[in-house]
Amino acid sequence: MVGLLPDGNRSRPAPLNESRGRPSARATSSHDAGSLYLLGLLCLTFGTLVLLITQERWVPIAAFGVPLLLGSLMLPLRPFAVLVTVQGAAIAAAFGVMDETPQLRSTVVVLGVLALIMVVAVARNRLGPTGESMLIDLRDRLNSQSELPELPAGWSAEAVMRSAGGAQFAGDFVVAAKTQRGDAVEIVVVDVSGKGLAAGTRALLLSGAFGGLLGALPPEQFLPAANDYLLRQEWSEGFATAAHLSLSLLTGRFELRTAGHPPGVQLHAGSGRWEVHTSSGPALGLLDEADFVPTAGQLQHGDALMLFTDGLVETAERDFTLGIDKLVGEAERMGRDGFSDGAQRLLDRLDVSTDDRALVFVHRR
């Protein structure tokens, strides 16, 4: 979950499901498939060359267009460029051993023009007509910055984010970092104003900035600094709400500060009671010199704490206080089966598609 600044009090987080730097199974599978496609098309090219030389009457030089067309449909840009290069060499070899005729020369020229057009088409498809691949890359970067750091034994934390209507971009994000040489963790849940691409690009910018602030400042200075940062951007829709949790991994004591954001909710395992931790402070990016009043508590063994955005508990027909009651009720029912994958399971139970939503679930075993 975070872009981190390299200082002595912070450690780089590990992704939730895999170690950093290890390629995903999907990326590895896609790379292997592309290599197999390229190998098959190269074999088809060489086979065409052999048949063209030995069976010139039955195999025209235009047959090289078949692997070229298949490659434009099946291969990424770099493998396709390799195929085009090999095709050019094969056509040149065939041209050298065949009887030169005006029809042969015109066919070779047409194949060359066709190859150039296909290279341009593959390159445009990779970039997308409006730079879509760049936007997908921005989305992936936002997701990677929202990975939670690995917590010590006895602690677990999970963050889940979903966009409204299954859109590719969301204005909700999470950043976190270990502080105090790994003895504490700070988690920030942010809801950026707006939806879709506009909110997603602002969320990407803010996630990097907020990730840099975590651990570089004392917890009480984080929200004021984040507020100043948004004010300097002078966005027309530049406000955001946030909840900032500073948690000691040694004692379980925490401070929660909110900026126009829904409160945190804590389960007291000993009594089975849920407590709403309400803090006060305006949304970020609206007021100069804003005050953010903290609320404090402690997570005992078995306790859990939830942070979430308003998209999870508030709808046009329901106030967020009723939504919190529903969230707590679902969490109680879910807790009977344990809190493993708690955020994911809880979001599945409450999921609606009308707004972006994010949920962080921290549990002390």
Q: Which domains does the chain have, with CATH numbers?
A: 25-127 (no CATH), 146-364 (3.60.40.10)
Confidence of residue 16 (pLDDT cuts 50, 70, 90): very low
- pLDDT for 14 equals 36
Confidence of residue 265 (pLDDT cuts 50, 70, 90): very high
Q: For all residues of the chain together, what is the average pLDDT? A: 80
Write down the residue that tokens 């292997």 correspond to.
32
Query: What average pLDDT does range 45-67 have in this prediction?
Result: 81
Query: What average pLDDT does range 4-30 have in this prediction?
Result: 39
The fraction of the chain above a pLDDT of 70, given in percent, is 81
Does the pLDDT of residue 306 top 90, yes or no? yes
The CB density around residue 162, as the number of other CB atoms within 10 Å, is 21
- pLDDT for 23 equals 41
- pLDDT for 70 equals 87
Residue 190, Cβ density class (10 Å: 0-12 exposed, 13-18 middle, ≥19 buried): buried
Higher pLDDT, 75 or 163: 75
- pLDDT for 154 equals 92
Higher pLDDT, 23 or 248: 248
Query: What average pLDDT does range 133-148 have in this prediction?
Result: 67
Query: What average pLDDT does range 213-234 have in this prediction?
Result: 93
Report helix, strand and coil shares of the chain as percent, to nearest 5: 45, 20, 30
